[in-house]
Structure 1
Amino acid sequence: MVRWVNGGRGKLLPFLGMLLAMLTQSGSMVVIKFAMTDGINKYVMVVYSMALSSFFLLPFALFQHRSEGPPLTFSALCSFLLLALFVSSAQIMSYIGIELSSPTLASAILNLVPAFTFVLALIFRMEKVEWRNFSSEAKVLGTVVSISGAFVVILYKGPPIGMKVQFSTQLNWILGGICCVADSLFTSMWYIYQASVAKKYPAVTVILFFQFLFSTIPCGIFALISVRDPTEWKLSFDAGLSVVLYQAIGATMLRYVLCTWCVHREGPLFCAMFKPVGIIFTAIMSAIFLGENLGLGSLIGGVIIVVGFYAVLWGKSREENNDEKKGITGIKNKK
């Protein structure tokens, strides 16, 4: 990442943007855990956060649509709806996973997103594997290593590193880890499909607005079925309102806008390199605000995931460099 910082102002802004995006995501995990411990319903938080995010993005989406956005068609709206289903499913799984386990575990398992994205890209023929090519072998091996690391984090909690703290039961830890894996899978599906949608409809703010708006609908239906007590929907001027505002403005709207902008500027590979930073941010913030200590299993599994993660990135980066060299050589040969 150092070479991007040294690349001048043009590289520094995306670098700072992704750091801020990871910081807001880590803060979100800690805030969610704190809010649920304080008695705030997780499903209600999702609904209010999505609804407020779409409300705040509405004026920007209207401006972009009128100035440069292509016409809204029924096909485009159906695409936005499918993206919204991926987003809402990921959000619900994330909240359940954090409630049952810990923010640190959820942050560690999010590093499975590149591995799942690579597997899905292979299935939909967006990626290729040449088994005699070392870079392709690195991508496959890195994917297997990342998934193995996730199993270590889920199945082996281990003793706490530092002072003794009270953890959830082992069963809750495993179930929470499985929900976090589902969150990573839905996020990967969102990445794959978003790449296709963005080519057909490049107005980023409009896409995000409809995603948040349409996400509010299934999340609202799910919450109405799950939350029967009307008092749980009431928001007062206390910690509950602060949590919802942070989730809507910082963790949802700002993070998605920053990630989308950075992907547009520097590509998905650049953004993916910041995932392990989230583990560091989350571990520090969990220790400060929640009094949580890092478990040995989370540490070992997190290291394994990061090693596999960077193996995938290295293989992908080397493939792209080779493709660029082949392209330049092809141009020279034509001349």
Structure 2
Amino acid sequence: MWVVIVLLMSMELMDVSCNTLSKAAMAKGMSNYIFTTYTHAIGLFLLLPFAFLFHSSPTLASAMNNLSPAFTFIVAIISRMEILNLRAHSSLLKLIGTLVSISGAFIVTFYQGLPITVFPPSPTEASLSLRNILQSDQPNWVLGGFFLATSSIFLSLSFVVKTWVARDFRSEVLITIISFFFETIVAALITLVAERDNPSVWVPTGGIVLIAITFGALEVAVVNTVQTWACGKEGPLFVAMFKPLQMILAVIMGVSFLHDVLHLGSVIGGTTIAIGFYTVMKGKAEEETRKEGAEENRLIYSSETSADHKVPLLKDKSMDV
């Protein structure tokens, strides 16, 4: 189990690194549609050799990804992968943690708050920043949060589907390749429509853009394969519950490398999400402990029962007359 935990934490770090790098590339003019298309297409070809080898036959986005555990929990209950028993303490913890996580995501989406800076700005900068926040409406912020929440629903569904497939078909690389094939087609079609007036975006410029696309392709290939494997090992909810780690990592990397402004709403929402995350993880740990105890008791009972039904091979000769 610890191997799965370490790998999933590494995948979240890789995911946030990709978000940070792609944001820097988009600031240089890279199209987000082209980025999605190229990363999945290249990722598909990166995984193809492994398929033949092993089977011969930034901050708002990261914060909204934290909705994935909540949606995954709901979908897992509907699909009977998770059992909700309100009389069990572990189920109550998972339910409460899910609701808290959703609340934190809404805070991040609808409340930006005042900026928090490491070094205090000058009085002029502070007054301008406050005036801009108070005077500006944020339609893109709310709309972006809505679309990201929708993507989290589809991500949750993908975790459940991956669990179904991976438990019956132990071929994580092939599963990822098949999904990338269709995702690349969809991304390319959307790019053709969205960038129909700007065909030059299909030729990426050098520097940070090429680095972002290359790293992005490696990231989607590795992360999706590892997550598919982890879904088969531990289930969809366990994998989804690592998404809140992106909040902390995204804030650190965004502020450190992209000089993003940290807002009060992100801190409050991220803290709320983290509380929900660890509440669900505690409930999951209690559930695993209870299952292990029940399995141990079953084995002991089975052993005692089989011992009681043993028939001696030889009768006691002193009983014979």
Q: Is the 8 A contact 1:62 1:206 kept in 2?
A: no
Q: CA deviation at 1:333?
A: 2.3
Q: 1:319 aligns with which of 266, 271, 287?
A: 287
Contact persistence 2:41–2:184 (CA under 8 A): yes
- Alpha carbons of structure 1 residues 119 and 328: separation in structure 2 relative to 1, 3 Å: same
Name the structure 2 match of 1:245. 214
Does residue 1:227 correspond to 2:217, yes or no?
no
**Take 2:34 and 2:259, find their aligned partners in 1: how far apart are those partners?**
25
1:199 to 2:167 alignment: yes
How much does 1:301 deviate? 0.8
TM-score by length of 1: 0.79
Q: CA 1:308–1:172 in 2, change beyond 3 Å: closer, same or farther?
A: same
Instruction: Find the structure with the greater CA-based Rg.
Output: 2
- List runs of 5+ in structure 1 lacking aligned partners: 5-10, 70-102
Cα distance in structure 2, aligned partners of 1:321 and 1:16: 20
Q: Does 1:333 pair with 2:309?
A: no
Q: 2:70 aligns with which of 115, 128, 134?
A: 115
User: Do the aligned residues in 1 keep the contact of 2:109 with 2:142 (CA within 8 Å)?
Assistant: yes
Tell me which residue corresponds to 2:245.
Answer: 277
CA distance in 2, matches of 1:14, 1:128: 22
Aligned to 1:186: 154
Aligned partners of 1:317 and 1:272: how far apart in 2?
15
Determine which of 145, 158, 165 is the counterpart of 2:113. Answer: 158
Task: Answer whether contact 1:160 1:296 (CA < 8 A) is retained.
Answer: yes
Aligned residues of 1:104 and 1:294 also touching (Cα < 8 A): no
Do the aligned partners of 2:76 and 2:237 also contact (CA within 8 Å) in 1?
no
Structure-to-structure mapping, 1:64-143, within 5 angstroms: 64-66=54-56, 103-143=58-98
Amino acid at match of 2:54: Q
Q: Quick check: 1:115–1:309 contact (8 Å CA) kept in 2?
A: no
TM-score under structure 2 normalisation? Answer: 0.82
- CA distance in 2 between counterparts of 1:273 and 1:139 reads 11
Q: Which amino acid aligns with 1:234?
A: V
Shift of 1:212: 1.3
Distance 1:189 1:272 in 2: 11
1:42 Cα offset (Å): 0.7
Q: Is residue 62 of structure 1 aligned with residue 17 of structure 2?
A: no
| CA apart distance, 1:15 | 5.0
Partners of 1:288 and 1:298 lie apart in 2 by: 16
Cα pair 1:64 1:206 within 8 Å, conserved: no
2:257 alignment counterpart: 289
One-letter identity of the residue aligned with 2:283: G
Matched AA of 1:248: A
2:156 counterpart of 1:177: no
Identity %: 37
Look up the match of 1:36: 26
1:269–1:122 Cα change, 3 Å: closer
Aligned to 1:76: none
Which residue number corresponds to residue 300 of structure 1?
268
Residue 195 of structure 2 contacts residue 201 of structure 2 at CA under 8 Å; is this kept in 1? yes
Counterpart CA distance in 2 for 1:221 and 1:208 is 20
User: What is the total number of aligned residue pairs between the two structures?
Assistant: 289
Structure 1 distance, partners of 2:227, 2:161, is: 15
**How many angstroms apart in 2 are the aligned matches of 1:104 and 1:118?**
23
